[in-house]
Amino acid sequence: MADIIWGLATSHVPSIGAAMDNHKTEDPYWKPLFDGYAPARRWMAEHPPDVAVIVYNDHANSIDMDLVPTFAVGTAAAYDVADEGWGRRPVPPVIGAPELSEHLVRELLDSSFDIATCNRLDVDHGLTVPLSVYCPEPGDAWPCAVVPVLVNVIQSPQPTAARCYEFGKAIGQAIRSFPQDTKVAVFGTGGMSHQLAGARAGLINEEFDRRFLQAIENDPESLAALSREDYVREAGTEGIEMIMWLVMRGAMSERISRVHDTYHVPASNTAAALALFQDLGDREPAAV
């Protein structure tokens, strides 16, 4: 049976990827952010998953306004890296896990989550930057297969935080019922507080971010109880991306332990964070 081994919450700011691609991680502007990643990266390198289920949002690169799915799952055998308008990131193509995708789709539908499926999906920085946070130097191939899970956080109304948390629980159950012996990591991406347009552009709410960063571990219900308006008011119009962390949290067991976290301002126009959790499992005593 498949097993969720860890969950990673991380920002997916394009410039974090560009800093890695352009070898600027030691620059004074970027060094504090990447130094903050180091302990998590060491731990993850020692605990590689077979498949990463990456919960993210597309940014007008594969999903446009013709069709806006609230929740979608990639079902392809491979995903090209998107050209977002300034050339493709120099990272390997993403290899899918179509059997796990198919299982997730069926199980999620049985759990009353009526998701869309994507047979072709060019994955943008929302997915590739978190992969680079996990594995900064993949060489010719990423170290794990990927199932992309898309959440609409761009067009309002977005799914509620509570619905995202429930969606995560359904994903967790679905993963654990996958019959193959597969080690799975779940990524929740995006955030933290940021707003790109309007008079409040540049908004950072460190107090809210730090409260969220703490509560995601042991009190996710309090974060799931917040409304869309709460997220936009406190974290900015784009800070609502943080609801995708609740999908990751929902997929994990109730018993998790924090391996590492870090918080940094700014990464471009945003507050950036990383939090890594080991899944302790709600396993029964070993069968005899």
Partner 1 sequence: MVDANERRTESRTKARDDYLLDIEHARRGYALNRMCGSLMHAENRSRFSADEAAYCDEFGLSPEQKHAVLERDWTAMMDLGGSIFYTFKLAMLDKKSMQYLGGVFTGMSTEEFIEAMQSGGRKFG
Whether residue 177 contacts residue 1, with contact meaning beta carbons closer than 8 Å, is answered with: yes
Query: Of 12, 103, 194, 260, which is the active-site residue?
Result: 194
The reply to whether 47 belongs to the active site is: no
- Return the number of the residue (119 or 156) whose C-beta is nearest partner 1: 156
Q: On the CB side of 125, how many CA atoms lie within 13 Å of its CA?
A: 21
User: Nearest distance from residue 163's CB to partner 1, in Å?
Assistant: 18
The reply to whether 260 belongs to the active site is: no
271 φ/ψ sector (left φ>0, alpha ψ -120 to 50, else beta):
beta
User: Nearest distance from residue 241's CB to partner 1, in Å?
Assistant: 12
Q: Which two tokens stand for residue 153?
A: 């956080």
- Return the number of the residue (128 or 193) whose C-beta is nearest partner 1: 193
Q: Which residues bind partner 1 (CB under 8 A)?
A: 15, 59-61, 64-65, 82-86, 154-157, 193, 195-206, 232, 237-238, 265-266, 268-269, 271
Please tell me the distance from the alpha carbon of residue 158 to that of residue 236, in angstroms, as a whole number: 14
Question: 148: cis peptide before it, omega within 30°?
Answer: no
Whether residue 55 contacts residue 189, with contact meaning beta carbons closer than 8 Å, is answered with: yes
Q: Which of 258, 143, 266, 133 is nearest to 193 (CA)?
A: 266
DSSP tag of 251: H
- Return the number of the residue (67 or 287) whose C-beta is nearest partner 1: 67
User: Nearest distance from residue 167's CB to partner 1, in Å?
Assistant: 21
73 burial level (CB within 10 Å; 0-12, 13-18, 19+)? buried
- Return the number of the residue (164 or 203) whose C-beta is nearest partner 1: 203
- Return the number of the residue (61 or 111) whose C-beta is nearest partner 1: 61
Q: Which two tokens stand for residue 208?
A: 């809210």
Q: Which two tokens stand for residue 107?
A: 């199980």
- Return the number of the residue (43 or 263) whose C-beta is nearest partner 1: 263
Quickly tell me which residue has 């990927």 as its tokens.
Answer: 146
User: Nearest distance from residue 232's CB to partner 1, in Å?
Assistant: 7
Long-range pairs for 21-30: beta carbons < 8 A, 24 or more residues apart: 21/89, 21/90, 21/91, 25/136
User: Nearest distance from residue 164's CB to partner 1, in Å?
Assistant: 18
User: Nearest distance from residue 79's CB to partner 1, in Å?
Assistant: 16
Query: Of 12, 125, 260, 264, which is the active-site residue?
Result: 125
Q: Which two tokens stand for residue 215?
A: 């509560």
Whether residue 192 contacts residue 11, with contact meaning beta carbons closer than 8 Å, is answered with: yes
Catalytic residues: 125, 194
